[in-house]
Amino acid sequence: MEEKILEILGEHCEEALDYDGDSMMEDGIIDSFTVINVISDIEDEFDIEIDAKYVVAENFKNKEAIIALVQRLLEE
Amino acid sequence: MNTNTSFQQVVIIGYGKVTGEVLQYVYDRKEEYGYELAFIEHEVHPFGVTENICRQNKISFERITDKRKLAAQLDKLTKETLIISASNNFLFPAALVAKPNVTIINFHNALLPDYPGRNAPTWVIFMGEKLTGITWHYVTAGVDEGNIIIQKQCEITGDMKAYELTEQLMELAGEAFRESFADIMARRVQAREQGFAKDRRMYRSYEVPSDGFFDLTDEPEDIYRLLRSVDYGKNDIFPLMRTVMDGQQVQILRYRKITADKAKSEQDSGQEDKGFCYLPLGENMVLKLKYASIIV
């Protein structure tokens, strides 16, 4: 699962893969449009719906946060 | 200091990507022109960058989500002020527009006089337009009616979704703003009247393309266009589109254009039993829909 998420993230923003901070948005690594694309591909890949309530900066602060979010949704 | 302006103050209102670009650009020229700069956030964006830009650069930041409070705050402006409305849905009151010390400019995400009002990227896609663009214009008491400062065009490609078009329009808006800024500050813009028709249609925030419904017997290309036109990712600007499947009302959770080979392989593996539907789009492509029943 992790590998696939990183592959999706890398497709839309390669820089995000090397980012080790805790706010990709504030640091200008990704923007809201990248987030939309990443969510769309993740939903499709894992056949899950990511509710709008999860689409907050905290869940997209770095690659680990995205992986953790998908992990939680898959376990629900 | 660049004295080629009479504006003593610049106030920026808006949210989203273009607002951040405009804010940074105006901040970077603050010393050159000598104006005071303030930012007002009227609508909160989950991925907004403006508060951070303000914090980093010590720019005055206020969050005023109440329309009346915002109008009252702007009414207090006494200095020669340029208000920049960049991706903003607040309608400026006529009394503010009429103030002699206030000039307001606004970015609209379509080529005015066409597609005034709300959600223009949606309507241009839904109507099957091939071209659209952005307009920076002076604000008057009417909605999106003021004289045009600058416009830029872009193409609408065949698979473009509303959020993708929005992103492109915001880039164009930032570019156009940078090109016009010096002229706006020097009040030397050769603005031109819009010359709109009397039957000009204004798009309202409550309007939904096709009333949010399609029939599975509609042309798949039309269904695809409808879905793309309301696709702003997780922003719930529009409700999920609905249709009737096997006599039951369903809503479309997701959609994707895939190759016919991939669709066949998915159908063979029983995906249709898992809430997916496949509609042939032609040219060896298929529209894949993920749907769910509407629980009344």
CATH number of the domain enclosing B165? 3.40.50.12230
Co-location of B57 and B118 in the same domain: yes
Most confident of A52-61, B25-34, B49-58: B25-34
pLDDT at position B211 over 70: yes
Cβ <8 Å between A36 and B17: no
Co-location of B227 and B119 in the same domain: no
Question: For residue B29, with 0-12 CB atoms within 10 Å meaning exposed, 13-18 middle and 19 or more buried, which class applies?
Answer: middle
Task: Using CB atoms, pick whichever of B49, B254, B274 lies closest to residue A44.
Answer: B254
pLDDT at position B296 over 70: no
Cβ atoms of residues B37 and B59 within 8 Å: yes
**For residue range B95-137, what is the model confidence (pLDDT) as tens digits?**
999 999 999 999 999 999 999 999 999 999 999 999 999 999 9
Residue B126, both tokens: 């839904």
**Which pLDDT belongs to residue B217?**
94
Contacts of B167 in chain A (CB under 8 A): 33
Cβ atoms of residues B226 and B214 within 8 Å: yes
With CA atoms as reference, the chain A residue closest to B56 would be: A26
Task: Using CB atoms, pick whichever of B49, B163, B274 lies closest to residue A25.
Answer: B49
**B56: in domain:** yes
Average pLDDT over residues B182-201: 91
**Which pLDDT belongs to residue A28?**
84
Q: What are phi and psi of B57, to 5 degrees?
A: -105, 10
Q: How far, CA to CA in Å, does B292 sit from each of A44, A66, B46, B100, B175?
A: 15, 25, 27, 55, 42
Range of the domain at A24: 2-75
pLDDT at position B242 over 70: yes
Average pLDDT, chain B: 93
Average pLDDT over residues B212-239: 95
Q: B11 has which bridge partners?
A: B38, B83
**Could you tell me what percent of chain B has a pLDDT over 70?**
98
pLDDT at position B189 over 70: yes
User: What SS3 class is residue B213?
Assistant: strand
Cβ <8 Å between B236 and A52: yes
Number of alpha carbons in the 13 Å side-chain half-sphere of residue A18: 2
Q: Does A27 touch chain B if contact means CB atoms closer than 8 Å?
A: no
Sheet of B285-293, strands arranged across: B242-245, B248-259, B285-293, B276-282
Which amino acid is located at A49 in the chain?
Answer: E
- Split into its structural domains, chain A has a count of 1
Average pLDDT over residues B268-279: 85
Sign of CA dihedral B151, B157, B160, B164: negative
**For residue range B52-65, what is the model confidence (pLDDT) as tens digits?**
899 999 999 999 99
If pLDDT is split at 50, 70 and 90, which confidence band does B234 have?
confident
Sign of CA dihedral A32, A35, A40, A43: negative
**Which pLDDT belongs to residue B170?**
94
Question: For residue B71, with 0-12 CB atoms within 10 Å meaning exposed, 13-18 middle and 19 or more buried, which class applies?
Answer: middle
**B198: in domain:** no
**B167: in domain:** yes
- Split into its structural domains, chain B has a count of 2
Angle of the B17-28 helix axis to the B162-185 helix axis, nearest 10: 20
pLDDT at position B44 over 90: no
For residue B246, count other CB atoms closer than 10 A to its CB: 7
Quick check: pTM over 0.80?
A: yes
Contacts of B47 in chain A (CB under 8 A): 25, 31-32, 35, 57, 60
**For residue range A32-55, what is the model confidence (pLDDT) as tens digits?**
889 999 999 999 899 898 988 898
Angle of the A63-75 helix axis to the A32-46 helix axis, nearest 10: 40
Average pLDDT over residues B134-161: 96
**Which pLDDT belongs to residue A17?**
94
Range of the domain at B156: 9-185
Average pLDDT over residues B156-174: 95
Residues whose CB is less than 8 angstroms from the CB of residue B250 and which lie 6 or more positions away in sequence, other chains included: B242, B243, B244, B291, B292, B293, B294
Co-location of B81 and B46 in the same domain: yes
Co-location of B46 and B137 in the same domain: yes
User: What SS3 class is residue B261?
Assistant: helix
**Which pLDDT belongs to residue B2?**
64
